[in-house]
Amino acid sequence: MRLDHDFTVPAPVSEAWQVLLDVPRIAPCMPGATLSEFDGETFTGTVKVKLGPVSLTYRGSGRFVETDEAARRVVIEASGKESRGSGTARATVTATLVAEDESTTRVDVGTDLTVTGRPAQFGRGMLSDVGARLIGQFADCLARTLAGEDTAASGGAAGAEKGAAESTPAPAASEEEPPSGAEQPARGGENEAGKEAEREVQPIDLFEVTGVREKARKAAPYALASAAAGAVLYLIRRRRRNR
């Protein structure tokens, strides 16, 4: 089936292009997904999905088939299989970036999707709705990430300028090594790797996304009323027969 969606990125098209090709950077924004490996062209990972009380984990891989910077177009092929089942998912995703203005980029996404197994019970319309909601979550996360990085960069630059302005020559004693028990500055790269490794990935709850759970909750009183009415009618008919 063919699914078409779009979202916007709060960044110039040249920056958005670099960001969307940086898989490790955007992977935490992908709902239910965990990136295992990426070599610049191919990647492997997992995607967690929930169908009510049933949890599914897809293990798969993908690769960049085309990266046309001049046309701002990228094509990705990906496939996965249930780790404890026979369900499969295969997709070819084509994303095209269009500059809306100097600071905003629209990303048009076309997906050719094939799904087998339990998620296939959702029809094309519902899967399209699921895709739209997940892409919306991805876009919101990406916008927050970009905004946070811009704020951090501005704050870091301001702090560096302030520190340089207020700095004074250090006394000779400052050249001595700090006491062995003194806390050493943490290395940013190691901390970030640790945080990513510890990140708890929440599965994509398809019942939640599609509203099936909410519809069932709203329908429950009517279902109970119907069942009660049916029971009453059954008892009335039974009494009439026994007379």
At residue 121, the pLDDT reads 81
Token pair in block for residue 135: 């892409």
Q: Measure the CA–CA gap between 233 and 64, rounded to whole angstroms.
A: 63
DSSP helix/strand/coil, 106: strand
Q: Tabulate helix, strand, coil % of the chain (nearest 5).
A: 45, 30, 20
Looking at residue 232, the DSSP 8-state letter turns out to be H
Residue tagged 């790269």 (tokens): 189
Q: Which run of H or E residues covers position 191?
A: helix 188-198
Q: What pLDDT does residue 229 have?
A: 60
What b-and-e string marks burial along 7-31, b requiring 16 or more CB atoms within 10 Å of the CB? bebbbebeebbebbeebeebbbbbb
Q: What is the pLDDT of residue 231?
A: 64
The answer to whether 60 and 83 are in contact (CB under 8 A) is no
DSSP code, position 119: G
Question: In which residue are the tokens 């029809």 written?
Answer: 123
Q: Is 3 helix (H, G, I), strand (E, B) or coil?
A: strand
Q: What are phi and psi of 57, to 5 degrees?
A: -125, 120
Q: Are 81 and 75 in contact (CB under 8 A)?
A: no
Q: What is the residue whose two structure tokens read 């990647």?
A: 43
Please identify every stretch of the chain with a pLDDT value under 70, giving residue numbers as ranges: 149-200, 209-243
Question: Would you say 60 and 79 are in contact if contact means Cβ atoms under 8 Å apart?
Answer: yes
Give the containing element (helix H, strand E) for 153.
helix 124-166
- Extended strands (E) in 134-202: none
Q: What tokens appear for 57 in the block?
A: 């984990």
Residue type, 178: P
Closest CA to 31 of 58, 15, 49, 13: 49
Paired residues of 204 in beta bridges = 49
Q: Tokens 């919101």 sit at which residue?
A: 140
pLDDT value at position 138?
92
pLDDT at site 199:
56
How far, in Å, CA of 93 to CA of 75, rounded? 6
What is the pLDDT at residue 240?
A: 65
